[in-house]
Structure 1
Amino acid sequence: MQDMSDVWLVVPVYNEAPVIREVAESANRTFPNVVCVDDGSRDGSADEILAAGVHLVRHPVNLGQGAAIQTGVEFARSRPGARYFVTFDADGQHRTEDVETMVVRLRSEPVDIVVGTRFGGQDSSSVPLIKRFVLRTVVALSPRTRRLGLTDAHNGLRVFDKTVADQLDITMNGMSHASEFVQLIDEHDWRVSEQPVTILYTEYSMAKGQSLLNGVNILFDGLLRSRIRR
């Protein structure tokens, strides 16, 4: 087994009390450093995180997933020995086995960030139809995403090194942060690669999933921001 003491999992959390304790405990069995950012939850998520025995950082009000990730990365990168950082969903969709594989690649290959993709090794037919349509549309309409060679830019599973963590400055607080992440990769010339991952679509996670309209809004928020920053 690898030494994962230099890896930090950052888990943004908003009203995930039914599952977050199990998710955090499971991740913590492989990764000794897990920080959950409770983004203004109203359902007891913070108590479940504390019961899991991992680090807890709290937002007094809900700021959105982008802000929670930024807060978690800032907390993690201030810790002694932190070298690698992971964004990991709180709803149980991500697997620690995939994170381990991505960390190995980051340690051994000339890349700064490895992004998960649902359209590599996993049969894409397992991705719900409406979600598959949204994800494919986002890529088709985003020249930046295509130029970087990304097939699943809105996958929340990412592993990156301290170069990325130190320069990361997410300002889009909501779900649109995924488009901003792609923009930052491009603007900073971070070396990026994709890793096929398996997403666990449970009844719980699907109930919290994004609608087609929300996906389109994310895309156009990202395109608008790109134009403004030019």
Structure 2
Amino acid sequence: MKKRYVLIPAYKPEETLLSFIQALEERNLSVIVVNDGSGEEYLPLFQKMEDHTGVKLIQLAQNQGKGAALKAGLSYLQTLDGNFQIITVDADGQHSLQDTLFLLEEGEEHENCLLLGSRTQSGSSPLRSRLGNAITRKVFSLTTGVPIRDTQTGLRCFGKELIPDLLAIPGNRYEYEMNVLLEFARAGIPILEYPIETIYLNDNAGSHFDTVKDSFRIYGQILKFISTSLLSFLLDFLLYSLCFAYTGQIFLSNAIARILSLHANFFLNKNFVFAKRQVVHTEDFGGTHGKTHAPFRDYISYLGLALFLFLINSLLLSGIVNSLNINAYFAKILTELALFLFSYYVQKNLIFNHRENEGRNHVTESPC
């Protein structure tokens, strides 16, 4: 059996974390606790944790966020010799000892995968948690085409081989865990879900999740796509309006506007929204370490999509104006909105998606 490490990022934890750590030690698990700048008043509690022989305490001088705390622990683990398993556990009591041990057991059989302990939300769950999970689940499915039931779970198990990939992923706060799922889905690294108990202590009072700030970070990619699409649309609409006012020709005006605006949209999406991360190159997934993705291929694929969307857009635009007698400027707005989600899905999953193994199943659910 491989050595097993439990990594716990902790910010202002409760006393109950100490008893959980003791239970982990009794099962011969090595524990790494990262104090994410909790403050002087919490030092006695962390000192009690460090007094246990099986605990490694990492102290961060200032609060840097959950992602930064996880990376601090992973950086330490990367220096250790041998092959081993890691499981991350939240410090707020949301994960039971039984589920932690269960996911570690499953990890023995799935060394090259990311295992998630997924909760099922019910009416008894805090409203903030139900809404947050429902929204992020839909956003994740939209941005990757991969359905995951619990994108916010902190109970995650993986092998040492994935540490370099995890350290390369951006994000220092709650958005980091979402970024991990996004990058792994894009890279074709298998993500497996296993049902676990849903636990919220004191209506999830121990959570330090900032609903506004952290939600904005989590939804960053889709918000960036919306903003770049809006800029491209405004440019496209301005050019279309000028050309139509001058020529009175719908198809010609639409063509000129699209040719000029699509290059701006391609540049923004390629370099700002779907910028490729180095995380996708891992020797342990198909033996294609260091494979590059040609920008010219992205460009040709994007032109193909742009041509297809232009033809559909022009047909819809002409049909709406001629058949329904709708104002040509208003009709332009309607057709652009109609094709927005389709364009996003194709760009995200077909054009700017640099997977190493196209045929790999991205998410596999365990029998429930």
Give the TM-score taking structure 2 as reference length.
0.55
Residue type at the aligned position of 1:177:
Y
Match status 1:18 vs 2:37: no
Match status 1:184 vs 2:230: no
How has the CA–CA distance of structure 1 residues 130 and 33 changed in structure 2, closer, same or farther, with 3 Å as cutoff?
Answer: same
Q: 1:112-135: per-residue Cα shift (whole Å, max 9, x none)? A: 11011112xxx6334222311111
Q: 1:197-221: per-residue Cα shift (whole Å, max 9, x none)? A: 1132111742535354356324322
2:37: which partner in 1? 40
1:28: which partner in 2? 25
Over the aligned positions, Cα root-mean-square deviation in angstroms equals 2.6
Residue type at the aligned position of 2:184:
I
Aligned match of 2:146 in 145, 148, 160?
A: 148
Match status 1:229 vs 2:228: no
How has the CA–CA distance of structure 1 residues 82 and 204 changed in structure 2, closer, same or farther, with 3 Å as cutoff?
Answer: farther
The answer to whether the 8 Å contact 1:9/1:87 transfers is yes
Structure 2: gaps of 5 or more residues? 226-271, 277-368
Q: 1:43-70: per-residue Cα shift (whole Å, max 9, x none)? A: 4434323313111011111111000001
Match status 1:174 vs 2:173: yes
How has the CA–CA distance of structure 1 residues 145 and 124 changed in structure 2, closer, same or farther, with 3 Å as cutoff?
Answer: farther
The answer to whether the 8 Å contact 1:66/1:176 transfers is yes
Question: How many positions carry a matched residue from both structures?
Answer: 224
Residue type at the aligned position of 2:129:
K
Of residues 80-89 and 197-206 in structure 1, the stretch that sits farther from structure 2 once superposed is 197-206
**Structure 1 CA distance for aligned equivalents of residues 143 and 21 of structure 2:** 31
How has the CA–CA distance of structure 1 residues 76 and 144 changed in structure 2, closer, same or farther, with 3 Å as cutoff?
Answer: farther
Larger Cα-atom Rg: 2
The answer to whether the 8 Å contact 1:95/1:199 transfers is no
**Structure 2 CA distance for aligned equivalents of residues 22 and 145 of structure 1:** 39
**Structure 2 CA distance for aligned equivalents of residues 184 and 17 of structure 1:** 32
The answer to whether the 8 Å contact 1:91/1:204 transfers is no
How many Å apart are 1:189 and its aligned residue? 2.2
Aligned match of 1:51 in 38, 42, 48?
A: 48
**3-state DSSP of counterpart to 1:203:** coil
**3-state DSSP of counterpart to 1:142:** helix
The answer to whether the 8 Å contact 1:115/1:159 transfers is yes
How has the CA–CA distance of structure 1 residues 148 and 106 changed in structure 2, closer, same or farther, with 3 Å as cutoff?
Answer: farther
How many Å apart are 1:96 and its aligned residue? 1.9
**3-state DSSP of counterpart to 1:45:** helix
**3-state DSSP of counterpart to 1:141:** helix
The answer to whether the 8 Å contact 1:38/1:45 transfers is no
1:19-168 residue pairs with structure 2 within 5 A?
Answer: 19-52=16-49, 53=52, 54-109=55-110, 111-119=112-120, 124-143=122-141, 147-168=145-166
How many Å apart are 1:162 and its aligned residue? 1.7
How many Å apart are 1:21 and its aligned residue? 2.1
**Structure 1 CA distance for aligned equivalents of residues 110 and 161 of structure 2:** 15
Residue type at the aligned position of 1:33:
S
Residue type at the aligned position of 1:19:
T
**Structure 1 CA distance for aligned equivalents of residues 70 and 125 of structure 2:** 24
**Structure 2 CA distance for aligned equivalents of residues 46 and 204 of structure 1:** 26
Residue type at the aligned position of 2:65:
G
- Structure with bigger helix share is 2
Of residues 214-223 and 110-119 in structure 1, the stretch that sits farther from structure 2 once superposed is 214-223
Q: 1:82-134: per-residue Cα shift (whole Å, max 9, x none)? A: 51111111111111211221122221247511011112xxx633422231111
How many Å apart are 1:71 and its aligned residue? 0.8
How has the CA–CA distance of structure 1 residues 37 and 110 changed in structure 2, closer, same or farther, with 3 Å as cutoff?
Answer: closer
Structure 1: gaps of 5 or more residues? none
Higher RCO (CA-CA < 8 Å; seq separation 6+): 1
